[in-house]
A and B are shown apart, each in its own frame.
Chain A
């Protein structure tokens, strides 16, 4: 079995530069910026239209957030209930504290089955733990079957969007990679392949079908895990997920512990919120639900790996825990003006965009340069909070995390400047003294335009500086009204 020459760069993005540095590089990639602007604006408009047609959208958001909060506040209880229901349904439940434990469990099951390949349903959790790399190291090929994930895999790329991982590639690039790479790993693309979407999809379908029919083990994640019925749910558009979930005899699902929902009824708001927020569809084409093993129907061996990997740490933070409500719809990415311009790679993680700027430092801690810079990768414009179907107040969480980073004392000069500013601003007399600096500058500059100020390059490289006035408002008031 040939293995893909995938992932020249590990998706842990070890040694990633800080966000501003990575962003600068991304901004210079005009082709990517074009692709991203078109894609995000299209999906933004679609989402806005289908959300606007639901008059009770706001109460659905509240119901979704409430269901998640209920699960998170009693997480231990619901996880135990989930384990019990899954086990009663004939599934085997495994617990994994971190990525290594989860990967070891999956590798061991695949080995026990004697396979050298698995087919995969698109899953964020398995990307987070780098399962493909772990399987590859064990001599097992992992075939991504989601069309966009397949494209990313053929490119040897990293995903740059939660829902549309190949959003940074256009059709012509995709045709070229199909022609170049498919033959190396299975059924080749037809030689006369064009960049028409229908032809591209057909080539992928034929390439993948061969793998679906052959594979004996499938690996998936889950969008939801219902505690009371022991049901896992995968929501998708293409049907490739359903192939993986039903054809192979063994199914292994890696599920973050925050995916649990208390009851079957909680799916009602979720299945309305998710497709409208993510693909801008009223309903997604395929929703697959499975509750354990059923004789002669679907996989006969069902494993569920419940993954912590930093989540219980996030749960312990009473403000930050709302991030665990996230249902990975990617609405926040699509409305984000920063993401729209930098793309996903600058975030140095499989979780990009506004939620990535929150979740990565929460899950990984704030030791690395990129994780320290992520909470600042936002203008706090609030578009993400408005779009989030489970009402995660992302700007609030970013500000919280900025506090965490600042408390580490990472930026000494900044911290000194902020303390000095606080000292000046906490007393009107000190403020008045400081303002004299500005008005003196204002008198010196007069009516000229300020183009360069030493030390202010970050501002003045592309922006003129406002000319300071000759008199502050405070001085004017004292002069005119003489009351202060």
Chain B
């Protein structure tokens, strides 16, 4: 039974993230559908761009400063900011203040510290802010969940995504062996150390295949592109889907 706590009092901003916006628009669309179904008023501030994580993690933290500035300016006034990406939320919460400080901008760092606690990864927002685990989804497939490293170890989302998935009607959720091991994506690591990255991804893909799942789900499309890219090349016939798309899925509008 779906339990909704309409939070129309909240001004919720969607941070689509630049990767999703450009490459995986179905994920932010699903996020909007889901949040509106749960009674939220969702806005998409068009001035948003990117969290700057790729720049920071490649060694160009200085270049990321304008992006941190922009993030604070665009999202500073909202009650809650929701992003369907553990990695980008991790970057905001864990790195933005550091990027500002490294550039000697204490003012920006303290603005970051004001907004960062209101920035939530999707499963955190649903479980902690809205207080729901049954979001009224329907997805009659065998699914295995990969907890991405940044969701797991930076954000500590814990089993929130699993709580949400378990409540999905019709789902056959199977445990992924070695779930907490990195898939090997790692941003530019996937290119700079492609051999190691592929070796890690191949092991992850093998674990996914072992479960007999039709669908591998995660909270980050970048990791899914890597795992899915390997599964695709192997012709494994396993789909990769973002958590938001499964949670948005209904009988009327299935994912």
Listed in ascending order, the chain A residues whose CB lies under 8 Å from chain B are: 19-20, 23-24, 27, 337-338, 341-342, 375-383, 385-386, 396, 399, 402-407, 414-415, 418-419, 421-422, 425-428, 431, 435, 438, 449, 451, 458-459, 461-466, 468-469, 471-474, 476-478, 481, 483-484
Interface string of B170-205 (1 = CB under 8 A from A): 000000000011101111111111111111111000
Which residue of A23, A463, A478 is within 8 Å of B195 (Cβ)? Answer: A23
Cβ–Cβ < 8 Å partners of A342 in chain B = 196
CA distance A385 to B182 in the complex (A): 14
Nearest chain A residue, comparing its CB with the CB of B193: A20
Tally of contacts, chain A with chain B, CB under 8 A? 193
Interface pair B192/A431, CB less than 8 Å apart: no
Known: A385-B153, A425-B67. A20 touches B192 (CB 8 A): yes
Interface pair B57/A463, CB less than 8 Å apart: no
Interface pair B46/A463, CB less than 8 Å apart: no
Interface pair A428/B49, CB less than 8 Å apart: yes
Which residue of A337, A378, A459 is within 8 Å of B191 (Cβ)? Answer: A459
Known: A380-B189, A422-B67. A468 touches B44 (CB 8 A): no
Nearest chain A residue, comparing its CB with the CB of B87: A380
Interface pair A458/B201, CB less than 8 Å apart: no
Interface pair B184/A376, CB less than 8 Å apart: no
Interface pair A425/B49, CB less than 8 Å apart: yes
CA distance A414 to B58 in the complex (A): 9
B136 interface residue (CB < 8 Å to A):
no
Contact residue range for chain B? Answer: 35 or more
CA distance A37 to B46 in the complex (A): 47
Nearest chain B residue, comparing its CB with the CB of A484: B46
Cβ–Cβ < 8 Å partners of A469 in chain B = 23-26
Cβ–Cβ < 8 Å partners of A23 in chain B = 193, 195-196
A406 to chain B, nearest CB (A): 3
Known: A415-B60, A484-B46. A438 touches B196 (CB 8 A): no
Known: A20-B192, A425-B52, A461-B194. A337 touches B182 (CB 8 A): yes
Within 8 A of A (CB), among B56-113: 56-64, 66-67, 70, 95, 98, 102
Cβ–Cβ < 8 Å partners of A337 in chain B = 181-182, 184, 200
Interface pair B201/A463, CB less than 8 Å apart: yes
Which residue of B22, B48, B193 is within 8 Å of A438 (Cβ)? Answer: B22
Known: A27-B195, A422-B63, A461-B198. A382 touches B50 (CB 8 A): no
The 5 closest A-B pairs by CB, nearest first: A379-B186, A406-B59, A463-B229, A484-B46, A402-B59
Cβ–Cβ < 8 Å partners of B20 in chain A = 473
Cβ–Cβ < 8 Å partners of B95 in chain A = 399
Interface pair A459/B194, CB less than 8 Å apart: yes
Nearest chain B residue, comparing its CB with the CB of A463: B229
Interface centre among B52, B59, B197, B199 (most CB of A within 10 A): B59
Cβ–Cβ < 8 Å partners of A415 in chain B = 60
Known: A337-B200, A402-B57, A461-B198. A431 touches B191 (CB 8 A): no
B175 to chain A, nearest CB (A): 17
Interface pair A380/B149, CB less than 8 Å apart: yes
Can you list 18 contacts pairing A with B, beta carbon distance less than 8 Å?
A: A19-B193, A27-B199, A337-B181, A377-B193, A378-B186, A382-B150, A383-B149, A399-B57, A415-B60, A421-B63, A428-B46, A431-B21, A458-B192, A459-B194, A462-B201, A464-B228, A464-B229, A466-B228
B137 interface residue (CB < 8 Å to A):
no
Cβ–Cβ < 8 Å partners of A19 in chain B = 193
Nearest chain B residue, comparing its CB with the CB of A410: B59
B189 to chain A, nearest CB (A): 5
Cβ–Cβ < 8 Å partners of B152 in chain A = 382
B130 interface residue (CB < 8 Å to A):
no
Cβ–Cβ < 8 Å partners of A407 in chain B = 59
Nearest chain A residue, comparing its CB with the CB of B70: A426
A345 to chain B, nearest CB (A): 14
Interface pair B153/A381, CB less than 8 Å apart: yes
Cβ–Cβ < 8 Å partners of B23 in chain A = 438, 466, 468-469
Cβ–Cβ < 8 Å partners of B185 in chain A = 379
Interface pair B193/A484, CB less than 8 Å apart: no
Nearest chain B residue, comparing its CB with the CB of A408: B59
Nearest chain B residue, comparing its CB with the CB of A415: B60
B226 interface residue (CB < 8 Å to A):
yes
B154 interface residue (CB < 8 Å to A):
yes
B34 interface residue (CB < 8 Å to A):
no
CA distance A406 to B63 in the complex (A): 11
Nearest chain A residue, comparing its CB with the CB of B27: A473
Nearest chain B residue, comparing its CB with the CB of A469: B25
CA distance A345 to B238 in the complex (A): 36
Which residue of B182, B186, B190, B225 is within 8 Å of A466 (Cβ)? Answer: B225
Cβ–Cβ < 8 Å partners of B150 in chain A = 382
Interface pair B190/A459, CB less than 8 Å apart: yes
Cβ–Cβ < 8 Å partners of A477 in chain B = 44, 46
Interface pair A462/B21, CB less than 8 Å apart: no
B121 to chain A, nearest CB (A): 15
CA distance A262 to B21 in the complex (A): 53
Nearest chain B residue, comparing its CB with the CB of A437: B22
Interface pair B197/A464, CB less than 8 Å apart: no
CA distance A296 to B154 in the complex (A): 55
A319 to chain B, nearest CB (A): 9
CA distance A380 to B185 in the complex (A): 10
B255 interface residue (CB < 8 Å to A):
no
Known: A381-B149, A381-B182, A426-B70. A341 touches B200 (CB 8 A): yes
A144 to chain B, nearest CB (A): 30
Interface pair B232/A449, CB less than 8 Å apart: yes
CA distance A435 to B49 in the complex (A): 12
Within 8 A of A (CB), among B104-149: 149
A24 to chain B, nearest CB (A): 5
A298 to chain B, nearest CB (A): 45
Cβ–Cβ < 8 Å partners of A380 in chain B = 57, 149, 186-187, 189
Which residue of A377, A405, A484 is within 8 Å of B44 (Cβ)? Answer: A484
CA distance A55 to B185 in the complex (A): 33
A308 to chain B, nearest CB (A): 27
B231 to chain A, nearest CB (A): 9
Known: A337-B200, A383-B182, A463-B229. A474 touches B194 (CB 8 A): no
CA distance A405 to B192 in the complex (A): 14
Interface centre among B102, B152, B194, B196 (most CB of A within 10 A): B196
Known: A337-B182, A461-B198, A468-B22. A383 touches B153 (CB 8 A): yes
